[in-house]
């Protein structure tokens, strides 16, 4: 079968990183695919070097009929059988390009849907695609209960996957970069600051004074860019740290492309989130043998089997978060045991090979 992946952006994000991993491993796992992108971004070079055919288009309008025409030509000339998209804007262009043909469309649902326009588009697309892929049971329930998007029989849960090979790091450590001794205890969170109620770095900040008071050689890092409109969230975190005189032990590193380097230096990974589709950053930590402390939202309970493979704390509860982190810091054996068990679990269920295996089954089922 020949599959076309259609992306609207190539900026570094969970969807785009997943698709790069898919492209790099598709051939070895029996998938023949290509990528078309209607926008650029900092991962464009990665896609071009990913061993699959890559075509760059330009979308100038919300619904661009010129893009639709070009896609239709690509589909015909490359004998595409399935078009796989990840967002509403890509989905509507794929739907129009495939209309009246035998080509099947697949739409993946990755997480938070903020605006009314995208929700209306998804409401139109859900019953019209050959298959909807949702990345967790928790996200499906959120769709149905919070934004009233109902799925029919054309839906399948497929967890995202991570390429472990991408997470290998052999260079300088983050501790070395920051001028910290190798024996300090470093923990942190990798997540952007968003306008919408999604990530929750402030709860981590509120947990820091108690942690630092009990663990004098502990330091914390926050990695992630600040989205336009979310500047106040970053400012509130930085102000809290200054006010509590802990800013000399907290590093705000901004957006980074070297996630493997960061994970390699972490003793604990913290993911404080209010809403998540699955949590690719947590999976990356598990697959790097870093023990995780996660908020108790449903997708995180799924990927940790209700706390079997991670420490869990109630959403926005800084007191219990600090207790969970301190429990791990004070017991190295517990940290290593939790990390080892989580690594094995994640390898079996959330590797890129497991993801591609399920995708291939899905594609076969709709042809």
DSSP H or E run through 355: helix 352-366
Q: Taking the CA atoms of 291, 284, 155 and 112 in sequence, report the sign of the dihedral they define.
A: positive
The number of helix segments (H) and strand segments (E) in the chain equals: 15, 13
Nearest Cα neighbor of 212 from 182, 194, 186 is: 186
Q: What distances in angstroms separate CA 196 from CA 26, 192, 233, 326, one per listed residue?
A: 34, 11, 10, 30
My answer on whether 191 and 326 are in the same domain is yes
Nearest Cα neighbor of 331 from 268, 263, 249, 262 is: 268
Q: Taking the CA atoms of 114, 17, 347 and 322 in sequence, report the sign of the dihedral they define.
A: negative
Question: Would you state the pLDDT for residue 149?
Answer: 87
Question: Would you state the pLDDT for residue 112?
Answer: 76
My answer on whether 146 and 248 are in the same domain is no
My answer on whether 156 and 277 are in the same domain is no
Q: How many domains does the chain contain in total?
A: 2
Nearest Cα neighbor of 109 from 347, 361, 277, 289 is: 277
Calpha distance 102→80 (Å, rounded):
10
Question: Would you state the pLDDT for residue 335?
Answer: 97
Question: Would you state the pLDDT for residue 58?
Answer: 96
My answer on whether 286 and 182 are in the same domain is yes
Q: Taking the CA atoms of 293, 228, 56 and 6 in sequence, report the sign of the dihedral they define.
A: positive
Residues with Cβ within 8 Å of residue 6, at least 6 apart in sequence: 35, 36, 37, 38, 71, 83, 84, 85, 90, 93, 94
Question: Would you state the pLDDT for residue 12?
Answer: 82
My answer on whether 341 and 237 are in the same domain is yes
Calpha distance 222→279 (Å, rounded):
16
The structure's pTM equals 0.88
The pair of three-digit structure tokens given for residue 18, joined into one six-digit string: 């997943």
My answer on whether 261 and 361 are in the same domain is no
Q: What CATH number has the domain bearing residue 37?
A: 3.40.50.2000
My answer on whether 198 and 299 are in the same domain is yes
My answer on whether 211 and 127 are in the same domain is no
- What secondary structure letter does DSSP report for 38? S
My answer on whether 200 and 253 are in the same domain is yes
Calpha distance 130→153 (Å, rounded):
10
Extract the residue ranges of the chain whose pLDDT is less than 50. Answer: none
Bridge-based pairing state of the strands 131-134 and 104-109:
parallel
State the residue range of the domain holding 195: 165-350
My answer on whether 291 and 320 are in the same domain is yes
My answer on whether 135 and 271 are in the same domain is no
My answer on whether 175 and 154 are in the same domain is no
DSSP H or E run through 270: strand 268-271
Nearest Cα neighbor of 321 from 356, 269, 246, 360 is: 269
Question: Would you state the pLDDT for residue 206?
Answer: 98
């Amino acid at each position: 079968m020949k599959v076309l992946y259609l992306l609207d952006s190539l900026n570094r994000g969970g969807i785009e990183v997943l698709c790069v991993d898919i492209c790099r491993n598709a051939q070895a796992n029996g998938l023949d695919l290509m990528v078309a992108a209607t926008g650029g971004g900092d991962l464009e070079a990665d896609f071009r070097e990913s061993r699959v055919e890559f075509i760059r288009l330009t979308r100038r309008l919300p619904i661009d009929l010129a893009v639709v025409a070009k896609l239709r030509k690509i589909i015909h000339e490359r004998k595409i059988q399935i078009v796989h998209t990840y967002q509403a804007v890509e989905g509507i262009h794929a739907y129009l390009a495939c209309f009246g043909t035998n080509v099947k469309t697949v739409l993946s649902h990755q997480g938070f849907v903020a605006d009314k326009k995208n929700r209306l588009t998804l409401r139109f697309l859900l019953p019209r695609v050959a298959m909807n892929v949702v990345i967790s049971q928790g996200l499906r329930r959120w769709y149905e209960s919070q934004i009233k998007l109902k799925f029919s029989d054309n839906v399948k849960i497929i967890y995202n996957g991570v390429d472990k090979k991408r997470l290998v790091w052999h260079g300088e450590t983050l501790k070395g970069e920051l001028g910290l001794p190798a024996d300090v205890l470093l923990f942190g969170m990798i997540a952007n600051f968003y306008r919408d109620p999604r990530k929750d770095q402030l709860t981590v900040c509120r947990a820091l004074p108690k942690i630092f008071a009990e663990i004098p050689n502990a330091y914390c890092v926050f990695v992630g860019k600040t989205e336009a409109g979310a500047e106040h969230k970053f400012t509130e975190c930085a102000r809290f740290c200054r006010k509590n005189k802990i800013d000399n032990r907290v590093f705000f590193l901004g957006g980074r492309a070297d996630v493997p380097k960061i994970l390699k230096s972490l003793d604990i990974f913290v993911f404080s989130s209010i809403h998540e589709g699955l949590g690719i950053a947590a999976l990356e930590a598990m697959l790097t043998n870093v023990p995780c402390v996660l908020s108790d939202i449903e997708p995180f309970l799924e990927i940790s089997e209700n706390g079997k493979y991670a420490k869990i704390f109630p959403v926005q509860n800084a007191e219990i978060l600090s207790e969970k982190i301190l429990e791990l810091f004070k017991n190295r054996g517990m940290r290593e045991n939790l990390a080892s068990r989580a690594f094995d679990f994640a390898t079996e269920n959330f590797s890129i090979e497991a993801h591609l295996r399920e995708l291939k089954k899905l594609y076969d089922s709709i042809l």
